[in-house]
Structure 1
Amino acid sequence: MFDHMKTPLVGAIFFLLILNCYSQDNLATKKYTKSHKRKFLVSWGGNRAVYSKSNITFKGRGYKFTIQNATAGDKPKGWHIDYVNPSRMTIPQTNLKLGYFISDHYAVSIGVDHMKYVMTNNKSRVIDGFIKLPSEDAGAVFNGAYNHEELIVSKPFLRFEHTDGLNFIFSEIARYDDISSLFHIQNTDKFQLNIIEAFGAGILYPKTNSTLFNRERHDAFHLSGFGISASAGLNLTFFKHFYIQCDIKGGYINMGDIRTTPNTGESASQQFFFAESIFSIGGLFRV
């Protein structure tokens, strides 16, 4: 009986061994970069930012006025050790992102764009509104009714900066497409080139450095509004797990409740468009 069973049993074992070797060979040759699903990503980088003009409204007890078409710039650090110094990482303009691939082409992420916003001082601006402060107030020298009046906005009148910073905390969904073949890259586990498009939305949590009417300086974090963004970029992944990425990102920011003084009854509001160029380094891995 056993002799009759031996031949088919040996054949079955031999077939299973061949199948196993074939499967292992397929696994060995299947590229890690072929599929992104269930991978995590993390990146850290820096940015340069530009901003559109905006109307900034300030209001409080005894005043309400709007500065028309205010301009602002960023505050670049340049190439610096502070980007990797844990105790000084908030000094440069930085970008942090953590994400997860829900499919081969789509990833969801959360992140922080730490931009800097510095309103241009010592410029003539058009102002509408009124300032009517008590005579003992330091700002009383600016008392008056302003009806499309021009005023030199200098530091004795106003200093207004989101320099620690203009913090856009967002969630994002992004699409990744491998375009390595366009550049004749054969082994994507060594080098892989991806094009990325993303859309995000989130909150603005700036730390606004403000001095109004030569009063006490205010510099504190405060939830001030919301923003939306869209971006496009190129991602070069090398040795499966590491990448460098360049992005162009633009969006809209609306901050309706900006703290300007220690008095919680005083605030500012503004809305504007922004654009960033971002350079980051990062990693991809599965748990």
Structure 2
Amino acid sequence: MKKLLVIGLMMSNFVFAQTLSRDTADIEVIHENAHERIKVKPDPLLKKGQIFVFFGWNRGAFGNSDIHFTGNGYDFQLNNVSARDKPTKLGIVYIDPSWFTVTQYNFRLGYFIKDNLALVLGIDHMKYVMKQNQTVDFSGTISDPKYAAMVQNGQVNLSDEQFLTFEHTDGLNYENLGLEKYKNLINRKNIDLVWSYGVGIGVMFPKSNIKLFGNERSDRFHVAGMGTDLRTSLNLVFWNHWMARLEGKVGYINMWDIKTTLNNKPDKAQQDFVFGQVLAGVGYTFNTKRNK
């Protein structure tokens, strides 16, 4: 009898152990499946109603352009004029809010109208400087004999600054509205990588610094034309909110009403050119939700 009792206890322990083992295995499988489900999370940036702000700095490049000048006593064009940007040297000016307009800066305010589509209001404060040390082709007429004499064999040398200085350095302001589509590339616990691409269109609101024929320098803000662009960016988001953004864009600018004098005379210049821009900076995202 005692032997049967012992054998029965041993068999019950064996069965119980097997059942517990299976249950434990099932729990582990369930836990593992739950863990897998947790890993599949929606993209953190791709949320309707989300807002982000961004501030950064840029470097720009500009294609050669023909600049047409008209006014009292002159109507001429300078062909194939080259230009460059004007970056500020590294220093405290880049982090001092009272001096931020001195740099080539960018601002973005974005709102997601869909889970992966955002409207982005942007300000691109670029700087455009005509290269002074160049000789360009000339066509047209100038009534003032002093400046007409500077044209030799259909060309004019701009290096001495007597004929013309021409800049949009306060600056070449592109106020634009863009439509951007976003796609998540990497989604981790505390870091996400998101790629975007889109298009933009806007007005050109430069403060042009122009001195033509020795006149007082024109230096005022004015709506001068329009621009359009294609853009793409990579966005790193840390801890759900902080963002580092690297953006590139190419575009076309047409300015048909550039003020060349300070008075109300009909003096103006026209030019159009392509541009490229690379910018980087930091931002912050609001209303970012993630599944736990």
Same fold judged by TM-score > 0.5?
A: yes
Whole-angstrom distance in 2 between the partners of 1:163 and 1:186: 42
Does the Cα contact within 8 Å between 2:113 and 2:119 map onto a contact in 1?
Answer: yes
Query: What is the aligned partner in structure 2 of residue 231 from structure 1?
Result: 231
**Contact 1:178 1:194 (8 Å CA) reproduced:** yes
Aligned length: 249
Q: 2:53 aligns with which of 25, 28, 42?
A: 42
Q: Is the CA contact (8 Å cut-off) linking 2:174 and 2:204 kept in structure 1?
A: yes
Question: 1:122 Cα shift?
Answer: 2.6
- Of 172, 177, 181 in structure 1, the residue corresponding to residue 178 of structure 2 is 172
- Secondary structure of the 1:82 match is helix
What is the aligned partner in structure 2 of residue 141 from structure 1? 146
Cα separation, partners in 2 of 1:100 and 1:148, compared to 1, 3 Å: farther
Q: Please tell me the residue identity of whatever aligns with 1:87.
A: S
Q: Which segments of 5 or more consecutive residues in structure 2 lack a partner in the other structure?
A: 1-36
The corresponding residue for 2:108 is: 97
Residues 54-203 of structure 1 aligned to structure 2 (within 5 Å)? 54-133=65-144, 140-143=145-148, 149-154=154-159, 155-180=161-186, 185-187=187-189, 190-203=190-203
Task: Give the CA deviation at 1:78.
Answer: 4.0
CA distance in structure 2 between the partners assigned to 1:248 and 1:42 by the alignment: 17
Deviations 1:31-65 (A, max 9, x none): 78274221111000000000000000111000011
Quote the Cα distance in structure 2 between the aligned partners of 1:34 and 1:43. Answer: 14
- Bigger radius of gyration among the two: 2
Local SS of the residue matching 1:160: strand
Matched residue type, 2:129: V
- Deviation readout 1:193-218 (Å, 9 max, x if unpaired): 01110210000000000111111111
Spell out, residue by residue over 1:3-47, the C-alpha distance to the aligned partner (whole angstroms, 9 max, x if none).
xxxxxxxxxxxxxxxxxxxxxxx99x9678274221111000000
Cα deviation 1:128-164 (Å, max 9, x = unaligned) = 001003xxxxxx4112696970110131110000000
1-structure distance, mates of 2:134, 2:207: 24
SS at match of 1:43: strand
Q: What residue in structure 1 maps to residue 24 of structure 2?
A: none
Gaps of 5+ in 1: 1-25, 134-139
Aligned-residue offset at 1:233: 1.5
1:44 maps to amino acid: F
Q: Check whether the contact 1:117–1:165 (CA below 8 A) recurs between aligned residues.
A: yes
Q: Hey, what's the Cα distance between the residues in 2 that align with 1:34 and 1:228?
A: 26
Q: TM-score of the superposition, structure 2-length normalised?
A: 0.80
Q: Tell me the CA shift for residue 90 of structure 1.
A: 1.0
Provide the C-alpha distance between the structure 2 equivalents of 1:218 and 1:230, rounded to a whole number of angstroms. 31
Letter in structure 1 aligned against 2:278: S
Residue type matched to 1:98 in 2? Answer: L
In 2, the alpha carbon distance for the partners of 1:244 and 1:105 equals: 18
- C-alpha separation between the residues in 1 aligned to 2:173 and 2:93? 18
CA–CA separation in structure 2 for the residues paired with 1:60 and 1:255: 16
- Indicate how the Cα distance of structure 1 residues 34 and 164 shifts in structure 2: closer, same or farther if over 3 A, else same: closer
Q: Report percent identity of matched pairs.
A: 37
| Alpha-carbon distance in 2 for matches of 1:246, 1:78 | 20
TM, length-normalised to structure 1: 0.82
How far apart in 1 are the matches of 2:41 and 2:88? 43
Match of 1:260 in 2: 260
Equivalents in 2 of 1:286, 1:221: separation in Å? 36
**2:99 counterpart letter in structure 1:** R
